[in-house]
């Protein structure tokens, strides 16, 4: 299926919509049912534990990304700025809280009048401290318990002592969560969600790895949409079942040599967050430039190979600390080097997201060191994932086009 | 038959008439205003008045698709790099200071663009910055060179932001700092903004409306980087480069 611009839409998108639609229905039902409990969780938080304890799990980051895609963030961010949050802090936080203050939500399309009221909020600071600030706003508003795992930053080696420290924090969540669910923690259930999560991650890894094929059957913009289930439903059958379908379609594409970008000539790596409010514009731009963004740090961030159902607490601690965003510059560079090689990358785009330094890896010279090591050229573009005030489309388009000219001169 | 190259920029639109042996036969710059198409037409009409021209029009710049009739659009950075390399035929670095943006381009000994960078989101260090300051101080920008020449020492401007820089300048005026010293400081701040873009080497080519209209800035660059040159009519080079590129490089809208 082509939209006429050379972009082939994945047919699995129909199944994706149903999978995500069903997820939001379960959330709505849980929010409406007095006997059910809703936990809010950060995107790389302890979701397996929450599903094992029979929570329906809602992700404010997923909600904020939906606000970004719906191009409504510019309406909401100023409300939060006026409330007292700086325009320089995470625009997920500011757009999500702004929407809440304005009593609007993109979930209305899914049949939810508002975000589902939390019974508890659970975060992990492995990605950033802002999730804690963000969740605290809601904990205060709803007067519900908030708890989290504190993970150090800039980790060079994930040592045993560090894993023990984080694992203990995972374990300490259990007695705090039990009173919220009014049920006893069942270790076997936890083992099962960890097993499902591990199997789903393995499938997601395979999905992304299909992009090693030339031409790639999937690109960054597809992956940004199809990552929904791995973010919000890992640890459940629903996500696992979905990625079986998606992977089968991509494998068929490979067999038929069907490309995501019909005339793929250049292969890029995207470092940093997506620009949600320009996702489809960007997809069309790169398609015109015969360029497939074959791999990204962002979409690869939901692969947790180290989960082990037989050792669920320690392995969760290990998996959620080994994450790219937690690591030191040297470790990050090695991970990127591997990606560049495995996906045969011609160039890298660093999206310098003005409200997320943690996800902007061109701020401490990594881009220069990686270039010196690999000779893969790079481009830095200023922007943001949700705050369109930080982004100049004209300047970025010219820069991207010139970058492809630059790559063409090297071929 | 002659060809026309157009660089439709945010402040000025520049056009060149190029002969079949790639010489510039005529040129014109007009203020872009709000209507790229009308600016393009003005230039095309002027350049084709006495000469027969062939289509397409070769274009670049923000308004590169805003042309009535057949055109072939390219990136102004690629076009500028081509023109500068055609002129110097060596490895070099280009700093282009235009109305709304400043660009850095590093070109290899074989003419390849090795690296380029655009200024960050703020206008400080661009033509818009000088225009804003001229407006605030109620001086025409054409007077800046003469004033900077009378300076006894340069003040240092700290602010990134044009609005903050203007407040800073007003503060300096209140302190009794002389206007020439302030203007020299403004020029030096433009150089600082350029130096922040990349570690500059010596073979530096300055292009764009600002070096063309403010020779003192070129001189100040030369004091720091003695190998600096700025060719005549450098603001027309991107338009000329479009013609030299001759074909679409990558697919532009």
In the structure encoding, which two tokens stand for residue B209, read together?
């409306």
- Sign of the four-CA dihedral B103, B108, B109, B112: negative
Per the CB < 8 Å rule, is A409 touching B112? yes
| Domain chopping of chain B, boundaries | 3-77+236-245, 127-191
- What's the full length of chain A, in residues? 411
The confidence score (pLDDT) of residue B237 equals 98
Q: Which residues of A touch B253 (CB under 8 A)?
A: 288
- The count of CB pairs under 8 A between chains A and B is 54
Determine, for residues A398 and B75 on separate chains, whether the beta-carbon distance falls below 8 Å: yes
Residue A159 lies in a domain: yes
Is there a domain that residue A338 lies in?
yes
Q: So what's the pLDDT on residue B250?
A: 64
| Dihedral, B242, B248, B252, B253 alpha carbons, nearest 10 | 90
Between B115, B118, B249, which is nearest A408 by CB?
B249
Give the SS3 label for residue A295.
Answer: strand
pLDDT number for residue B100:
81
Q: What is the pLDDT of residue B121?
A: 63
Q: Are A395 and B113 in contact (CB < 8 Å)?
A: no
Domain tally for chain A? 1
Q: Find the CB nearest B250 among A392, A394, A401.
A: A401
The pLDDT value recorded for residue B123 is: 66
Retrieve residue A272's tokens.
């940093």
- Nearest C-alpha of chain B: how many angstroms from A279? 17
Beta strands in A25-99 (DSSP E): 37-41, 55-58
The distance in angstroms from the start CA to the end CA of chain B is 27
Say how far residue A188 (Cα) sits from the centre of its chain.
Answer: 28
Look up the domain containing A244 and give its range. 13-410
Q: Is residue A220 part of a domain?
A: yes
Beta bridge partners of A380: A350
- Which of B113, B115, B120 faces A405 most closely, judged by CB atoms? B113
Give the per-residue pLDDT at A1.
Answer: 37
Q: What tokens does A348 get? A: 């890298």
Contacts of A22 (CB under 8 A, 6+ apart): A238
Strand partners, A38: A56
In this prediction, residue B164 carries a pLDDT of 82
CA–CA distance, A282 with A276 (Å, rounded to integer): 10
Measure the CA–CA gap between B8 and A225, rounded to whole angstroms.
37
Element (H, E) at A293: strand A291-296
Within-domain flag for A36:
yes
SS3 assignment, position A122: strand
DSSP chain B: -BEEEEEE-SSEEEEEEE-TTS-EEEEEEEE-TT-HHHHHHHHHHHHTSSS-B-SSEEEESTTTT--SS-EEE--HHHHHHHHHHHHH-S-EEEEEE-SS-EEEEEE-TTS-EEEEEE--S--TTSHHHHHHHHHHHT--GGGHHHHHHT-SS------SSHHHHHHHHHHHHHTT--HHHHHHHHHHHHHHHHHTTS---S-EEEESHHHHH-HHHHHHHHHH-TT-B--TTGGGHHHHHHHHH-S-SS---
Q: Is residue A400 part of a domain?
A: yes
- What CATH code would you report for B127-191? 3.30.420.40
Contacting residues of A for B112, CB less than 8 Å apart: 406, 409-410
Domains B3-77+236-245 and B127-191 share a fold: yes
Low-confidence ranges of chain B (pLDDT < 50): 252-253
Does a structural domain hold residue A238?
Answer: yes
Asked, for residue A8, whether it belongs to a domain, the answer is no
Task: Report the alpha-carbon angle A148-A151-A157, nearest 5.
Answer: 155
Which pTM was predicted? 0.94
Is the CB of A405 less than 8 angstroms away from the CB of B250? yes
pLDDT at A4: 43
Positions in chain A whose pLDDT score sits under 70: 1-7
Q: Which CATH number does the domain housing residue A391 bear?
A: 3.40.50.11900
Instruction: Report ipTM (2 d.p.).
Output: 0.89
Q: A28: how many CB neighbours lie within 10 A of its CB?
A: 18
Superfamily of domain B3-77+236-245: ATPase, nucleotide binding domain (3.30.420.40)
- Residue A192 placed within a domain: yes
DSSP A238-276: HHHHHHHHHHHHHHHHHHTT--SBTT--EEEEEES---G
């Amino acid at each position: 299926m082509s939209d006429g611009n050379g972009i082939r839409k994945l047919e699995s998108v129909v199944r994706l919509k149903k999978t995500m639609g069903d997820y939001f229905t379960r959330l709505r039902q849980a929010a409406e049912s007095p006997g059910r409990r809703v936990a809010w969780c950060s995107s790389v938080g302890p979701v397996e534990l929450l599903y094992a304890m029979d929570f329906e799990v809602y992700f404010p980051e997923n909600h904020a990304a939906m606000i970004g895609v719906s191009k409504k963030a510019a309406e909401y961010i100023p409300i939060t700025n006026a409330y007292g949050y700086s325009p320089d802090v995470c625009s997920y936080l500011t757009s999500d809280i702004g929407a809440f203050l304005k009593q609007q939500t993109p979930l209305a399309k899914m049949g939810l009048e508002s975000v589902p009221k939390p019974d508890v909020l659970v975060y992990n600071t492995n990605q950033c401290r802002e999730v804690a600030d963000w969740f605290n706003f809601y904990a205060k508003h709803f007067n519900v318990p908030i708890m989290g795992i504190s993970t150090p930053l800039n980790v060079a080696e994930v040592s045993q002592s560090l894993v023990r420290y984080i694992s203990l924090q995972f374990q300490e969540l259990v007695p705090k969560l039990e009173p919220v669910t009014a049920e006893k923690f069942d270790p076997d259930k936890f083992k099962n969600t960890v097993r499902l999560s591990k199997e789903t991650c393995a499938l997601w890894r395979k999905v992304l790895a299909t992009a090693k094929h030339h031409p790639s059957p999937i690109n960054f913009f597809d992956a940004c949409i199809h990552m929904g289930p791995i973010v919000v439903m890992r640890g459940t059958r629903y996500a696992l079942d979905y990625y079986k379908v998606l992977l089968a379609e991509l494998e068929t594409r490979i067999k038929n040599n069907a490309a995501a970008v019909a005339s793929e000539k250049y292969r890029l790596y995207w470092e940093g967050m997506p620009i949600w409010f320009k996702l489809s514009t960007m997809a069309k731009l790169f398609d015109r430039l015969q360029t497939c963004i074959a791999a990204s740090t962002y979409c690869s961030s939901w692969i947790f190979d180290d989960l082990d159902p037989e050792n669920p607490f320690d392995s969760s601690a290990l998996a959620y600390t080994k994450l790219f965003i937690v690591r030191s510059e040297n470790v990050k560079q090695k991970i990127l080097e591997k990606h560049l090689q495995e996906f045969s990358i011609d160039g890298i785009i660093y999206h310098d997201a003005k409200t997320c330094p943690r996800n902007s890896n061109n701020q401490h010279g990594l881009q220069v060191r990686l270039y010196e090591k690999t000779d893969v050229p790079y481009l830095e573009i200023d922007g943001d994932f949700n705050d369109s005030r930080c982004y100049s489309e004209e300047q970025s388009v010219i820069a991207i086009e010139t970058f492809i000219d630059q790559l063409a001169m090297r071929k | 038959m002659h060809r026309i190259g157009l660089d439709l920029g945010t402040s000025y639109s520049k056009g060149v008439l190029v002969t079949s042996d790639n010489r510039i036969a005529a040129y014109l710059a007009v203020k872009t205003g709000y209507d790229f198409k009308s600016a393009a037409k003005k230039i095309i009409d002027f350049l084709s008045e006495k000469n027969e021209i062939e289509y397409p029009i070769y274009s670049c710049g923000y308004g590169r698709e805003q042309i009535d009739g057949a055109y072939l659009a390219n990136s102004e950075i690629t076009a500028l790099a081509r023109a500068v390399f055609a002129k110097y035929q060596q490895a070099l670095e280009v700093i282009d200071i235009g109305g709304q943006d400043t660009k850095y381009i590093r070109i290899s000994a074989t003419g390849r663009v090795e690296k380029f960078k655009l200024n960050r989101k703020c206008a400080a260090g661009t033509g818009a910055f000088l225009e804003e300051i001229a407006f605030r101080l109620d001086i025409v920008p054409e007077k800046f060179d003469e004033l900077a020449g009378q300076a006894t020492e340069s003040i240092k401007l700290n602010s990134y932001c044009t609005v903050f820089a203007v407040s800073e300048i007003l503060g300096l005026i209140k302190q009794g700092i002389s206007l020439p010293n302030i203007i020299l400081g403004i020029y030096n701040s433009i150089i600082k903004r350029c130096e922040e873009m990349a570690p500059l080497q010596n073979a530096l080519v300055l292009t764009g409306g600002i070096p063309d209209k403010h020779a003192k800035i070129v001189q100040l660059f030369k004091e720091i980087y003695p190998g600096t040159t700025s060719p005549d009519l450098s603001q027309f080079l991107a338009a000329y480069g479009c013609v030299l590129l001759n074909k679409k490089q990558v697919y532009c809208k």
